[in-house]
Amino acid sequence: MHGRVKVRTSEEEKARKEKERNEKLKIFKHAMQKIQIKRKECTLDKELLELTGNVLSSNPDIYTLWNIRRDILQLFKKSNDNIEEMSQVYNAELHLTEYCLKINPKSYCAWHQREWVLLTRDDPDWQKELELCNTYLKLDERNFHTWDYRRFVVSQCKPSLKDEFDYTTEKLMDNFSNYSAWHYRSKMLVELYPDRKGGRPIEDSHHKHELKMVQNAAFTDPDDTSAWFYQRWLLGAVKTTIDLVNYTVTPTKNTFAFSKHVDKNYVSAKTKLLINNCVVNGEWVSCTGNCYDVLWIFQHSTPITKKINIKVEYEIDNGQKQIIQGVECKEMFYIGKNQIKFERNYSEAVIEELKDQLESCRQLLNLEPDSKWTMLTTTIFLHCIDAKAYHTEAIQNLQKLKVIDKLRAGYYDDLIAKWCIEKQLCSDYENADLALKFSFPSPVSSLPYLQYYSYCDSVDLSNQQLTSNIFPSLIVLQHCKKLSLENNNLTTMKNFPDLDLVELNLLGNEKLDRNEIELFTKKYNFNIIY
């Protein structure tokens, strides 16, 4: 079904082929019939082994035939104590799988049979299997079945991890365009060289070494994408934490927003609400009803009144306790904002390396200003090194990428939105404003980090490119009273979340059906402008 080119043939040729196929089919059907009969009769003998073997050698994917063979081999083993004889039987089976894999190197069945034989026999030769992998990977360095088989063999004969790591180095030196080898390398890198002291995924000197190696690879052939993915991963390989980003306490609703999805056990173990220095007991409910959520509602019966002392004790990842003091932003409306940051925590040494590489990237970009991967990498470097200082340049680059790499314009749009929102969040978390308004150079079509704005009572999302797809995400706006979606691309009101709004502005969404809005209006008792 894959890779079979349709060829035009003469009538004569067609007839000849047809005849040939009919012959083949007759033999096939006859063999299959005979196999079925013998199986029904439970005659699990050498003849059946031969019959199934013949069919499999040209049709390795007929899984039932392999099952029959395993039944036979198991029977043989039970009734035969001669180790040498059994060894020969197993060798023949390995031979058959090898033959089948030559016809179809991607046959799941043949690979599995090989694993089964080696796990079943008493005298597996793992070294030989490892060599077989080496040979096969020379023929096709990207066959993921062979790589999987190699990992299976390695899990059995356990060569040193370093040997396998060096094997990927060797494969990559042969050809950098080997995504399979980069992948395998990523698995071993974090096992071999974790940063035990600093808690980062990769130890410093090795992180640097990999960055250098991958840059070398990427610069050798900037159009080969393999190395770029590895590089992007290296840049993201930093320590990350789960943070409580804000909380809002009012007489009617208490919400807690987290930087990542967390479950109830996590929230209830790590978070304590204190009113006038007394711990409040209550029940945690997720905002969406899912087990993991970014916004949690805390239900309790302690009255919230004016001028009380509200604070939250939150246990961060290293076990330390954080106190986040609440502020009464308006009457009986308490907000606690944590310090937030989106910068990645690299070590000094890695930062130096990144700065060096940024320089080289910029030079390369001067020579080839339209090279997508060089432009993208430069941009990612800028963001990683100092997102704030380089914000304007990074966004400009992403705008250029939308043109150079048109197919992925939607991705760049969302990345621009994400980085712009990160920047705005940092300043919004430093003031006491309860209103959210986006006014970026280009409109946004997605709303990352929206839970960070869960405390806002007024949310202005007008003049963006939002579609009705974003409705379920709005559920985190639990304290919002005034919501504007004016001038967006809404098409339906389906899936609009249950919010305690006072006013909803839907003006300027040309594709919204008026009848639908009128029905919607009847359902809710807030003011809908349309």
Partner 1 sequence: MSFTTKDVVLKEDRPKTLLLQKHSDYLASYGLNKDDYEYCMTEYLRMSGIYWSLTAMELMGQSSRMPKEDIIEFITQCQDSESGGISASIGHDPHILYTLSAVQVLAMYDRLDAVDIEGIVRYIVSLQQEDGSFYGDKWGEIDTRFSFCAVMCLSLLQRLDAIDINKTVEFVLSCMNFDGGFGSKPGSESHAGLIYCCVGTLSICKRMDALHADELAWWLCERQLPSGGLNGRPEKLPDLCYSWWVMSSLSMLNRIHWVDKKSLEEFILACQDNETGGFSDRPGDITDPFHTLFGLAGLSLLGNTSIKPVNPTYCMPQETIDRLKLKPQILQI
- Taking the alpha carbons at both ends of the chain, their separation in whole angstroms is 53
When asked if residue 8 is in the footprint of partner 1 (CB under 8 A), the reply is: no
**Other residues' Cβ atoms within 10 Å of the Cβ of residue 81:** 8
Select the residue interacting with partner 1 from 99, 126, 179, 530 (CB under 8 A). Answer: 179
* Positions 243 through 282 that interact with partner 1 (CB under 8 A): 261
Amino acid at 264: K
Residue 219 contacts partner 1 per CB under 8 A: no
**360-399 positions binding partner 1, by CB under 8 A:** none
Minimum CB separation from partner 1 for residue 112, in Å?
5
- Strand ranges inside 36-97, DSSP E: none
Q: Where are the beta strands (DSSP E) in 178-253?
A: 244-249
| Per-residue burial over 312-345, b = 16 or more CB atoms within 10 Å of its CB, e = otherwise | bebeeeeeeeeebebeebeebbbbbbbebebebe
438 binds partner 1 (CB under 8 A): no
CB atoms within 10 A of CB 9: 11
Return the number of the residue (312 or 475) whose C-beta is nearest partner 1.
475
Q: What number of other Cβ atoms are within 10 A of residue 41's Cβ? A: 9
CA dist 57 and 341 (Å) reads 60
Q: Any contact of residue 221 with partner 1 (CB under 8 A)?
A: yes
Q: Is 22 in the site for partner 1 (CB under 8 A)?
A: yes
Beta carbon of residue 433, minimum distance to partner 1 (angstroms, whole number):
25
Of the candidates 482, 413, 418, the one whose C-alpha atom is nearest the C-alpha of residue 452 is 418
Taking CB under 8 A as the criterion, which residues in 281-310 touch partner 1? 288, 290-293
Nearer to partner 1, 237 or 350 (CB): 237
**Per DSSP, which regions of 72-159 are E strands?**
none
Residue 529: strand, helix, or coil = strand
Residues 305-334 that bind partner 1 (CB under 8 A): none
Q: Does the protein bind partner 1 through residue 4 (CB under 8 A)?
A: yes
Only one of the segments 176-184, 247-255, 453-461, 501-509 lies at the binding site for partner 1 (rule: CB under 8 A); that segment is: 176-184
Q: In the bound complex, what is the minimum distance in angstroms from residue 440's beta carbon to partner 1? A: 17
Site for partner 1 contains 409 (CB under 8 A) = yes
Q: Which stretch binds partner 1 (CB under 8 A): 44-52, 59-67, 419-427, 499-507?
A: 59-67
- Residue 97, judged by CB atoms within 10 A of its CB (0-12, 13-18, 19+), counts as buried
Smallest distance, partner 1 to C-beta of residue 318, A: 23
14 near partner 1, judged by CB under 8 A: no
Figure out which of the listed residues 38, 53, 54, 70 binds partner 1, where binding follows CB under 8 A. 70
Q: Is 43 in the site for partner 1 (CB under 8 A)?
A: no
- Residue 382: burial class (beta carbons within 10 Å; 0-12, 13-18, 19+): buried
> What b/e readout covers 498-517, taking b as 16+ CB neighbours within 10 angstroms?
ebebeebbbeebeebeeeeb
Phi and psi dihedrals of 119, rounded to 5? -80, -20
Among 445, 464, 478, 489, the residue binding partner 1 under the rule CB under 8 A is 445
Q: How far is the CB of 328 from partner 1 (least distance, A)?
A: 31
Residue 295's SS3 state is strand
Q: Does 226 interact with partner 1 (rule: CB under 8 A)? A: yes
Cα 66 from Cα 52, distance rounded (Å):
8
Provide the token pair at 370: 């339209």
Q: Of 54, 67, 371, 463, which one interacts with partner 1 (CB under 8 A)?
A: 67
**Of residues 288 and 399, the one with the C-beta less far from partner 1:** 288
Which segment (16-24, 96-104, 433-441, 455-463) binds partner 1 by CB under 8 A?
Answer: 16-24
Using rule CB under 8 A, residue 414 touches partner 1:
yes
164: tokens are 């396998």
Query: Is residue 440 near partner 1 by the rule CB under 8 A?
Result: no
Using the minimum distance from each CB to partner 1, give the nearer residue, 141 or 310: 141
Residue with the two structure tokens 């000094």: 348
Q: Please state the φ and ψ torsions of residue 430, each to the nearest 5 degrees.
A: -100, -10
Within residues 453-492, the interface with partner 1 by CB under 8 A covers 469-470, 472-473
Q: Is 446 in the site for partner 1 (CB under 8 A)?
A: yes
Q: Does 494 bind partner 1 (CB under 8 A)?
A: no
Q: For residue 38, state whether it binds partner 1 (rule: CB under 8 A).
A: no
Decide if 394 contacts 378 (C-beta within 8 A): no
Give the three-class secondary structure for 297.
strand
Question: How many residues contact partner 1, by CB under 8 A?
Answer: 71
Contact 335, 327 (CB under 8 A): yes
Under the criterion CB under 8 A, does residue 184 sit at the interface with partner 1? yes
Using the rule CB under 8 A, give the single segment among 144-152, 246-254, 308-316, 331-339 that binds partner 1: 144-152
